[in-house]
Amino acid sequence: MNLRLLLSLLALAGLSACTPNPGGGGGDTDSDGDGLLDDEDPNPDNPDTDGDGLTDGQEVNELGTDPENPDSDGDGYLDGSEVEAGSDPADEDSVIYQGGWPYNPNSDDIEDPGTDGTVDQDDIIGRVIGVDQFGDEVDLYDFAGQGKPIILDVFAEWCPPCKATAAWLGGGQDQYGLEGEFGAVRAAVNSGDIYWISLMEQDNFGNVADLAAVQRWDQAYPNEHVAVIADPVMSAFMGHLMQNGFPNFHALNENMEIVYMNDRNTQQLDFQALNVALSLVE
């Protein structure tokens, strides 16, 4: 075979591979390999048209979700997140968290130091997964990566200052006069610009917190913006954060770094984390 013949054969082979069949109209081609033929594909060059983590083919062929809507059932959770977390992306009554808390698909990427040891300011806080007032097992790291700061309120059910703070935060009695200095923080929690997480370290009897305890707390101080989570290991975060008294407040950024740690060297309540969190709101 001479070179000219070889080149023309190669050109022919290239031509036949690249030119669409004029009779077929490309109808049996799946250019992006997502399981949907180009004719039926909302974007034949993008396997995940709406960017929700599911391919167009999965959405249309398997799940019955909308490949052009990242939240098909409008319940606030991305279709791909729902599949990952085990809820139904085509049913608005099936949600990841009944409380509406965020979900972080990249939570495992955070370098969890564990809660057995201690952490200090600027460190990443340890991961905790505990039951909330709705009975859902909530992962602290699901609040990461949302572009929002977090106030972590470490408390005990029996503790009077904890109760007073929760009453104020819910719009009730303001025993300590917090509204004057921290009203903007409360407003930011209510608008969803700051996440407030109340982590219960002990119940009314000084025992490990459980579902009944966080539900009692939620009934006493109802607040739809606050996740009340029972620490499954009694006082684990008191040791982890080296704290001496309840409540203690910490400001976290969206990377779960402790931007402000409650001052443990004072007998006074330290609310500085609230202002620090507010300063982190974008």
Question: Smallest distance, Å, CB 52 to Ca ion?
Answer: 4
Q: 62: number of CA atoms within 13 Å, CB side?
A: 13
d(CA 173, CA 104): 34
Question: Smallest distance, Å, CB 56 to Ca ion?
Answer: 6
Residues that bind Ca ion (CB under 5 A): 30, 32, 34, 36, 41, 48, 50, 52, 54, 65, 73, 75, 79, 94
d(CA 90, CA 88): 5
Q: 275: number of CA atoms within 13 Å, CB side?
A: 8
Task: Report the residue number, 41 or 231, with the smaller CB distance to Ca ion.
Answer: 41
Task: Report the residue number, 75 or 139, with the smaller CB distance to Ca ion.
Answer: 75
Question: Smallest distance, Å, CB 146 to Ca ion?
Answer: 18
Written as six digits, the tokens of 140 are 């602290």
**Are 107 and 144 spatial neighbours (Cβ–Cβ below 8 Å)?**
yes
Question: Smallest distance, Å, CB 184 to Ca ion?
Answer: 33
Task: Report the residue number, 137 or 181, with the smaller CB distance to Ca ion.
Answer: 137
Task: Report the residue number, 30 or 203, with the smaller CB distance to Ca ion.
Answer: 30
CA distances from residue 174 to 166, 170, 197, 217, 242 in whole angstroms, order as listed: 9, 10, 19, 17, 28
